[in-house]
Amino acid sequence: MAEKKFLYYVFLVTIILVALIGYFLTYPLVKKINTAKQLFQNKQVELVQLQKKEKSLEDLNSNYKNFQEKIDMLNKMIPNTKDVSDYLTQLETASRRNNVQFKSIKATGQPPQQTQSQTQQSDQSEQSGKSGQSQQPSQTQDKSNQINLQLTQLEKVGDLYEFPMEVIITSKGDQYQNVISFVETLEKLSRFTSVKKVATKANESDNSLETSITLSIYVLP
């Protein structure tokens, strides 16, 4: 009986020792597994946060590009330069596309006081314009120079400067539609154009239409 009891104690102690040995041997491994699992979960959270930040940056970049495009468009519509040569080129392109011809273009605001040399230059330009009406493209620079000389007369309108001008065009025959198309094209130019008034009259001597268009463009301060 004592021998069986002894064997029972030996068996129990052996089981306890095995359990303790197994626990101390496996505990570091279990701890490492738990640590790795926690680290993995943390990395997953960080990855989700990074993905959200990346999406946010992509949205910001897209918004920036959209805003930049709008700013560029606005800068073309209302530039901060007083140079009108590019605008005159747009007008001539529009006239060719709509089969109308320029007769004259002039600023309609109050002209500034001119020096004698400026007055002589303006008179020479007008005489040159009258002698070369059949050569429309060659008049562009002369017209640009005449207008630029008067840009000091810009009128302050709110936060902008308004530059009013009158454009006179002619078209052969009964071509009202060409005039209408030209006016519609003016309103769609990359530089913002405000058409104020359109007046058309027939010229029976050469069977043509003469149209006076009062318009304004704007300049940023």
pLDDT digits (tens, 9 = 90+) for 96-113: 899 898 888 888 865 544
Q: Where are the domains of the chain?
A: 1-77, 85-219
What's the DSSP call for residue 174? S
Q: Which long-range contacts (CB under 8 A, 24 or more apart) does 30-36 make?
A: none
Quick one: pLDDT at residue 199?
Answer: 92
Handedness of CA 58, 59, 64, 70 (dihedral sign): positive
Quick one: pLDDT at residue 171?
Answer: 86
For residues 98 and 182, is the Cβ–Cβ distance under 8 A? yes
173 pLDDT band, cuts 50/70/90, is low
Q: Pick 142 or 95 by higher pLDDT.
A: 95
What's the DSSP call for residue 98? T
Residue 179 has pLDDT above 80, yes or no: yes
- Taking residues 173-195, report their average pLDDT: 87
Hey, what amino acid is at 2? A
130 pLDDT band, cuts 50/70/90, is very low
209 pLDDT band, cuts 50/70/90, is confident
Q: Which two tokens stand for residue 181?
A: 């198309």
C-alpha atoms less than 13 angstroms from C-alpha of 149 in its C-beta half-sphere: 19
Quick one: pLDDT at residue 207?
Answer: 80
This prediction has a pTM of 0.56
What angle, rounded to 10 degrees, do the helices at 140-148 and 85-97 form? 140
Quick one: pLDDT at residue 6?
Answer: 67
pLDDT digits (tens, 9 = 90+) for 113-122: 444 444 445 4
What angle, rounded to 10 degrees, do the helices at 176-186 and 85-97 form? 150
Residue with tokens 């001119």: 114
CA 119/CA 146 separation, integer angstroms? 10
Residue 212 has pLDDT above 90, yes or no: yes
SS3 137: helix
- Taking residues 43-70, report their average pLDDT: 89
Hey, what amino acid is at 105? I
For residues 200 and 209, is the Cβ–Cβ distance under 8 A? yes
Quick one: pLDDT at residue 155?
Answer: 79
85-219 adopts what CATH topology?
Answer: Alpha-Beta Plaits (3.30.70)
- Alpha-helix residue ranges (DSSP H) falling in 132-168: 140-148
Residue whose C-alpha is closest to residue 107's, from 220, 221, 198, 216: 216
For residues 208 and 172, is the Cβ–Cβ distance under 8 A? yes
Quick one: pLDDT at residue 185?
Answer: 92
Quick one: pLDDT at residue 143?
Answer: 53
